[in-house]
């Protein structure tokens, strides 16, 4: 049985009873946007930053959110409180709403709001031992075709890359852009470490990741950072490689296309950033209110996102 609570257009349901119409354009065409948000120890990490990004995604596809930000924030907090979970994962969505079988967005009657509160586990013990990766044969959808800052409901490009990784016995897939530079993993940003310097792939063709932003904040004053394009060969020659994302958190990559990265084990910079990231997310964020408290919680100790 599915765990958690789901909010759908004004009502709360047990996770296994939540439904949307088969005529919803989010289902029919991937016409909508979403976020992935983690909460730890009863605090939602960077809630307001995630809400800002979701409203930006909606604006970029011309979808008017059906609720104002303050109300949406309340819905997320209430859904999380109703779940009873202390650690978990939130998946808020805006869909274009129910329409007909034509793709014209004007046919959708009104946008829908969904907030899923459940749990997620992507890499398990591989956070400790490290992931294997392949380089996907297909390329990342170019920004000329779809703005990478739209976190849309259509993830088929990413799913096909992940499917290729599965078929080839790897944990993850790395997508290159049309110029052969590293774009991202199937749902994560990518970093490399060389000579104590942390290299971040730019976000010209990948989502501006909130976990990525957090890692750059944690590097400040501790490790030099360079944000610049690099080919996959750059990863092969690096001492460390790691990926970041809300769902996947911070995960070392120790093998790419059968090539060992560094000594084939998670490196000291990755380990340090991973440790400090988990300390941060487990101690800061917006507190989840007690049911019926009527509180309007504010963020506690969370650093300002850049």
Q: Is the pLDDT of residue 305 over 90?
A: no
DSSP letter at 261? P
Task: Classify residue 303 by burial, with Cβ atoms within 10 Å: 0-12, 13-18, 19+.
Answer: middle
**Among residues of the chain, what percentage have pLDDT more than 70?**
94
Nearest to 135 by CA among 175, 106, 166: 175
> 254-266 burial string, b = 16+ CB within 10 Å, else e?
bbbeeeebbeeeb
Tens of pLDDT, residues 20-75: 999 999 999 999 999 999 999 999 999 999 999 999 999 999 999 999 999 999 99
**pLDDT band for position 6 (cuts 50, 70, 90):** very high
- Active-site option among 46, 126, 151, 162: 151
Beta-carbon neighbour count of residue 55 at 10 Å?
18
Tens of pLDDT, residues 140-174: 999 999 999 999 999 999 999 999 999 999 999 99
Q: Is 162 an annotated catalytic residue? A: no
Round the average pLDDT of the chain to a whole number and report it. Answer: 93
Tens of pLDDT, residues 273-289: 999 999 999 999 999 99
Element (H, E) at 272: helix 268-281
Contact between 182 and 140 under an 8 Å Cβ cutoff? The reply is no
The CATH class for the domain spanning 5-120 reads alpha beta
Tens of pLDDT, residues 77-133: 999 999 999 999 999 999 999 999 999 999 999 999 999 999 999 999 999 999 999
Query: Hey, where are the domains in the chain?
Result: 5-120, 126-281
- Do 5-120 and 126-281 have matching folds? no
The CATH class for the domain spanning 126-281 reads alpha beta
**pLDDT band for position 291 (cuts 50, 70, 90):** low
């Amino acid at each position: 049985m599915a765990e958690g609570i789901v909010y759908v257009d004004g009502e709360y349901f047990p996770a296994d009873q939540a439904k949307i119409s088969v005529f919803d354009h989010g289902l029919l065409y991937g016409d909508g946007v979403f976020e992935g948000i983690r909460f730890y120890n009863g605090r939602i990490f960077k809630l307001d930053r995630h809400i800002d990004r979701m409203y930006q995604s909606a604006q970029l596809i011309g979808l008017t959110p059906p609720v104002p930000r303050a109300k949406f924030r309340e819905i997320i907090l209430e859904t999380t409180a109703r779940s009873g979970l202390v650690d978990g994962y939130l998946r808020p969505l805006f869909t274009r709403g129910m329409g007909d079988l034509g793709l014209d967005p004007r046919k959708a009657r009104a946008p829908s709001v969904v907030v899923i509160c459940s749990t997620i586990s992507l890499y398990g013990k591989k956070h400790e031992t490290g992931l294997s990766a392949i380089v996907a044969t297909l390329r990342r959808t170019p920004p000329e075709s779809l703005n990478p800052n739209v976190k849309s409901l259509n993830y088929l490009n990413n799913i096909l890359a992940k499917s290729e990784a599965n078929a080839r016995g790897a944990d993850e897939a790395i997508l290159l852009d049309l110029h052969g530079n590293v774009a991202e993993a199937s749902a994560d940003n990518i970093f490399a470490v060389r000579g104590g310097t942390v290299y971040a792939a730019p976000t010209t063709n990948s989502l501006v990741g909130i976990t990525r932003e957090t890692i750059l904040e944690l590097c400040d004053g501790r490790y030099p950072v360079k944000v610049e394009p690099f080919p996959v060969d750059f990863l092969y020659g690096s001492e460390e490689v790691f990926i970041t994302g809300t769902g996947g958190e911070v995960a070392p990559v120790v093998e790419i296309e059968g090539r060992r990265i560094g000594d084939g084990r998670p490196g000291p910079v990755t380990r340090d950033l991973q440790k400090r990231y988990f300390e941060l997310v487990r101690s800061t964020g917006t507190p989840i209110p007690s049911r019926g408290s009527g509180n309007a919680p504010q963020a506690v100790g969370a650093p300002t996102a850049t």
